[in-house]
A and B are shown apart, each in its own frame.
Chain A
């Protein structure tokens, strides 16, 4: 009887591990094929599109890729500028707003928090026509500010930061800093921000990745080739220019993904923990 049960138990275990391993392979294999094909020639790919081993045409693919419209260095630099700007604005101003919600006792505090909960649900997509017309009238298309500054008002991040402050900030720290004569801004920047480091790290990762991956707003606002971000560069691989240059298409795709892989595997612990805490769905 007992043996029967233990056999059933171990078969179950085998099933579970098999399913999990298959799913893990499913996560990896499309990217693996992509990376391998980035080093293979178009002829090889057309003969056999799947190879689990690399070939030696990386450099010639690179030459073809660079010889046309795809400019990975420009795309990388532009994406970096925007994403860093967005990350700094999101993290700093959300922390400031959350601090105001937690530490000070003002009359509209509760109302303001309810307001943040409500606007959390409004997606940017629905205001895009008005936003485009507004920026167009100001002649600010092809400028990065309209892509960066909206990040100052990030309701989801404020919500997350507020939860964090409520659980980890002792008001006595603020009070004793006041007795020592610290101004309110000084206290926030020098004492509270360091306390918030773990929350800032998590939210910074999500803000950065979200901005790095954003295609919708940049493709509408940016028309100058020299201002294109990485996702817009990638979208060009879809066009006729690269039609049959499979090797260089795969290489171009790989170039956008490699920085994300590096970030992800270095910080996956924080990312998974951040997702588990909720409040992020971009």
Chain B
């Protein structure tokens, strides 16, 4: 009764069917549809009929020359720089403190829980909460500033370009530094403990260990966080939309919000929005390719090292064999 001939391989295919079907319908088809719409004249609320344009790239040219689109890209860069640099510096500092062997910090668990907390709260709620907190003339922040004597009169934070950008960046910083810290700590815990023991034996101080052992070994994780955060910044929607709707004067307009504005307000230009989506897609694809390259590069480098070691061992073995033969 041995059923050696039974092959289970077909179940591999069968169990993947739901995933593949859902992906084809809900992901691939809309992607193709969006690509097609980028070359058409589809606009107007409730319209679904479209014709291809005589000049297929007309929408792309219009979008690339659109000052709001250009502004949305530079805004993404600005917002990203002012939130990511302090975010990663603080996360690194906390990582150094929390992973130090010589100085045990008590209450790490509760600190991690509190630092990460803003990340799971609804972004829509946080955006409105902050626009209320920074309200004019009598929001809590203005109240605090005047009580402490930091400002003479109420400041209209929401209607000035740089304060609005500063607040949006601060929200991003505040929501994400805990995440970055936890990822970095888990990166440090994943490193070979011998590295740290060796540094300690060599008499390195905590700071030296961190700068010359920990950070170089975290390079890949740091790059990964950096790029995923940039991609996240391009897609940021809820916060700028509900904070000041991209304002004041487009100062917090992100690419995602630009696309939404093109398609679902004004003259409902689905075609332009599609073209802009494709441009965003290309940018994200390039950034993702960089991540892939970095990750693969690391594996390849490790493989090379291993190969080298093996070759060396082989050489020694051959030598030893030769000696034995002689």
Contacts and interface: CB of A to CB of B under 8 A. Distances in A.
B85 interface: no
A188 B8 CA distance: 13
Contacts of B232: 281
Secondary structure call for the B interface: helix
A104 B12 contact: yes
A193 B31 CA distance: 33
Interface string B104-147: 01010011111111101111110011111101001110111000
12 contacts: A31-B129, A45-B138, A49-B142, A104-B15, A126-B280, A126-B284, A130-B34, A130-B37, A136-B46, A152-B26, A264-B117, A278-B183
A119 interface: yes
A30 B133 CA distance: 8
A5 to B, nearest CB: 11
B280 A24 contact: no
B23 interface: yes
A82 to B, nearest CB: 14
Nearest to B182: A275
Given A34-B129, A126-B31, A129-B274, A275 B13 contact: no
Interface residues of B, number: 94
Interface stretch (A57-65, A162-170, A196-204, A228-236): A228-236
Contact of A220 (B8, B142, B264, B280): B264
A96 B12 CA distance: 10
Interface residues of A, number: 90
B321 interface: no
A234 B237 contact: no
B122 A231 contact: yes
B186 A130 contact: no
Contact of A125 (B11, B18, B182, B235): B235
A260 B120 contact: yes
B254 to A, nearest CB: 10
Given A30-B130, A33-B133, A129-B277, A234 B30 contact: no
A203 B235 CA distance: 22
Interface string B156-196: 00000000000000000010001100110110000000000
A133 B22 contact: no
A109 B11 CA distance: 12
Nearest to B178: A27
Given A97-B19, A278-B186, A133 B270 contact: yes
B144 to A, nearest CB: 6
A207 interface: no
B88 interface: no
A153 interface: yes
A276 B190 CA distance: 10
A69 B186 CA distance: 45
Contact of B277 (A26, A93, A128, A153): A128
A12 to B, nearest CB: 7
A144 interface: no
B23, B30, B133, B186 — most chain A CB neighbours (10 Å): B30
Given A97-B15, A106-B9, A131 B284 contact: no
A133 B256 contact: no
Interface string A133-173: 11011000000001001101100001000000000000000
B129 A253 contact: yes
A122 B116 contact: no
Contacts of A81: none
Contacts of A104: 8-9, 11-12, 15
Given A271-B116, A278-B186, A132 B263 contact: yes
A154 to B, nearest CB: 8
A71 to B, nearest CB: 16
B259 interface: yes
Contacts of B280: 125-126
A137 B326 CA distance: 84
B146 to A, nearest CB: 10
A23 interface: yes
Given A97-B19, A127-B31, A20 B111 contact: yes
B30 A237 contact: no
A268 B109 CA distance: 10
B114 A24 contact: yes
